[in-house]
Amino acid sequence: MSLKKKNILVVDDDYNTLDLIQRHLKPFSYHIYKASSVNEAVEVLEYTSIDLLITDLNMPEINGLELIKYSKEHYPLLPKLVITGMPTINNAVEAVRSGALDYLTKPFTGNELFQAIETSFLKGEKNPAASKTTEEMHYAGMIGSSDHFKNLIEVINRVKNNKVNVLIEGESGTGKELIAKAIHYTGALAKKPFISVNCGGIPESLMESELFGYTKGAFTGAKESKIGLFQAASGGTIFLDEIGNAPLSIQTRLLRVLQEKEIMRVGAVDTEKIDVRILSATNSDLYKMVLNGTFREDLYYRINVVNIKTKPLRDRKEDIIPLVKSFIEKYTVEYNKHNIKLNEEVHEILSRYSWPGNVRELENIVQRMIIMSDDIIDMQHIPENLKYHLPEKKEQFKSLKEYEKDHILKILATVGNNKTKAAKILQIDRKTLNQKIT
Residue type, 350: L
Sequence-separated (6 or more) residues with CB below 8 Å from residue 74: 45, 394
For residue 181, the minimal CB distance to ligand ATP (Å) is 8
Q: Could you say which of 62, 129, 130, 178 contacts ligand ATP (CB under 6 A)?
A: 178
81: which strand partners? 54, 102
Is residue 360 involved in binding ligand ATP (CB under 6 A)? Answer: yes
Q: Could you say which of 172, 259, 380, 435 contacts ligand ATP (CB under 6 A)?
A: 172
Q: Could you say which of 175, 228, 236, 244 contacts ligand ATP (CB under 6 A)?
A: 175
173 binds, among ligand ATP, Mg ion, none (CB under 5 to 8 A by kind): ligand ATP
| Burial annotation 395-417 (CB, 10 A radius, 16+ → b, else e) | eebeeeeeeeeeebeebbeeeee
Residue type, 407: H
DSSP output for 75-124: -TTS-EEEEESS--HHHHHHHHHTT--EEEESS--HHHHHHHHHHHHHHH
Residues 268-287 that bind ligand ATP (CB under 6 A): 283
Name the one range near ligand ATP by CB under 6 A: 85-93, 169-177, 221-229, 379-387: 169-177
Residue number with CB closer to Mg ion (61 or 177): 177
CA distances to 175, 180, 322 from 143, rounded to whole Å, are 10, 15, 7
Residue number with CB closer to Mg ion (6 or 176): 176
Sign of the dihedral defined by the CA atoms of residues 390, 394, 397, 402, in that order: positive
DSSP single-letter state for residue 172: T
CB 33 within 8 A of CB 8: yes
Q: Residue 144: count other Cβ atoms within 10 Å of its Cβ.
A: 25
Residues 284-323 that bind ligand ATP (CB under 6 A): 323
CB 159 within 8 A of CB 183: yes
CB 84 within 8 A of CB 57: yes
Is residue 177 involved in binding Mg ion (CB under 5 A)? Answer: yes
For residue 427, the minimal CB distance to ligand ATP (Å) is 48
Is residue 177 involved in binding ligand ATP (CB under 6 A)? Answer: yes
Residue number with CB closer to ligand ATP (144 or 213): 144
State how far Cα 71 lies from the chain centre: 16
Instruction: Using CB atoms within 10 Å of the CB of residue 362, give its burial: 0 to 12 exposed, 13 to 18 middle, 19+ buried.
Output: buried
Residue number with CB closer to ligand ATP (40 or 147): 147
Name the one range near ligand ATP by CB under 6 A: 20-28, 176-184, 219-227, 410-418: 176-184
Name the one range near Mg ion by CB under 5 A: 176-184, 191-199, 262-270, 412-420: 176-184
State how far Cα 260 lies from the chain centre: 37
Residue number with CB closer to ligand ATP (81 or 152): 152
Residue whose Cβ sits closest to Mg ion:
177
Backbone φ, ψ for residue 34 (5° rounding): -115, 145
Is residue 35 involved in binding ligand ATP (CB under 6 A)? Answer: no
Is residue 124 involved in binding ligand ATP (CB under 6 A)? Answer: no
Beta-strand (E) ranges in 328-382? Answer: 341-342, 376-377
Is residue 137 involved in binding ligand ATP (CB under 6 A)? Answer: no
Is residue 143 involved in binding ligand ATP (CB under 6 A)? Answer: yes
Is residue 361 involved in binding Mg ion (CB under 5 A)? Answer: no
Total of residues contacting ligand ATP (CB under 6 A): 16
Residue number with CB closer to Mg ion (57 or 313): 313
Name the one range near ligand ATP by CB under 6 A: 104-112, 168-176, 186-194, 415-423: 168-176
Q: Which residues bind Mg ion (CB under 5 A)?
A: 176-177
Q: Which residues bind ligand ATP (CB under 6 A)?
A: 142-144, 170, 172-178, 283, 323, 359-360, 363
